[in-house]
Amino acid sequence: MSNRVLFDAHNHVQFPAYDRDRAAVLERARKAEVKMVAVGTNIQTSREAIALAKQYPGAVWSTVGFHPNHCLSSWYHDPSEQRRPAQENFEPAALRQLAKDPQVAAIGECGLDYYRIGSYQSAIKKKQSAVFLDQVKIAQELNKSLMIHCRPSKGSDDAYEDLLEQFSVSGFPFPKIIHFFVGSLAVAKRFLEQGFYFTFGGVVTFARDYDEVVKYVPLENILLETDAPYVTPEPHRGRRNEPAYVIAVAKKLAEIKGIDYDRIVQRTTANAKEALCITIDR
């Protein structure tokens, strides 16, 4: 494996946001020596992630999952994510069947999202928790890692605290990746105690809110991500995000942590291999 290979551990390059130029996007990633995971958010996008991984073996892997925001009765149709404005219901049997595909590296993104649940708070929390725990069971059954989405209420760590409580009660023997962590240093320490990996993406390039956590989390627990097509890093702000832009994230992490860029690349790619139980060759 080249020492310069980067790994984008969380993007959605299978989304319709890339329908017009997906091959060109993936070619730019290849030239930049970026490999990746295409992350599913429901059955439709999970199926498309698997298809893409089959089309680009050794360069793209996939996950299958049901995003907690799809549990909301006030669900919003994101045209970047889905072509048709039709909300899916969670079907664990269908997800389990997809998850058996050898191209699937993890279950997710799944988790808890309290950011917009409003007056339906109690009912939505209960539903999100049930859907999340069903996906944890699938991961356990199939010996898969978890790709976790967890977003608290504004100014709170509430969703993180609930997630940690669920794991402290049930446990989980396989790698756990907390995607796009935005919590406090105190809660980050608790995640580290439970052996989580953290992904950091474009937001660290233009906001200083996360520097303290980035500095604290050991490099051995960090993965790179873009979350493309969302959260485009500097200096590409204003454009649709894409996997090749993960280079900007790696450079910023090197700056924040005071670590050589090549070390960031080598260690985070090695972490991706460990966290997702995959083989990454040149």
Tens-place pLDDT, residues 107-122? 999 999 999 886 568 8
| Distance of alpha carbon 254 from alpha carbon 211, whole angstroms | 11
CA dihedral 182, 60, 65, 103 (to 10 degrees): -140
Structural contact between residues 135 and 107, judged by C-beta atoms closer than 8 angstroms: yes
Tokens read off for 7: 């790994």
pLDDT of residue 188: 97
- Report H helices in the chain: 22-31, 43-55, 92-99, 121-142, 158-170, 185-193, 211-216, 246-257, 261-276
| CB-based contact 268:274 (threshold 8 Å) | no
Q: Could you tell me how many helices (H) and strands (E) the chain has, helices first?
A: 9, 8
Bridge partners of residue 273, in order along the sequence: none
Q: What is the CATH number of domain 6-276?
A: 3.20.20.140
Q: What is the pTM of this model?
A: 0.96
Give residues with Cβ within 8 angstroms of 96, minimum separation 6.
138, 141, 142
pLDDT at position 116 is: 84
Using alpha carbons only, give the angle 8, 174, 129 rounded to the nearest 5 degrees. Answer: 90
How many residues are listed for the chain in this entry? 282
Question: Which of the 8 DSSP states describes residue 14?
Answer: T
Query: Hey, is 260 helix, strand or coil?
Result: coil
For residue 132, the model assigns a pLDDT of: 97
- Residues of the chain with confidence (pLDDT) below 50: 1
What residue segments make up the domains of the chain, in order of their start?
6-276
User: And the tokens for 193?
Assistant: 């105690």
Confidence at residue 1, expressed as pLDDT on a 0 to 100 scale: 46
Number of neighbours of residue 8 by Cβ within 10 angstroms: 32
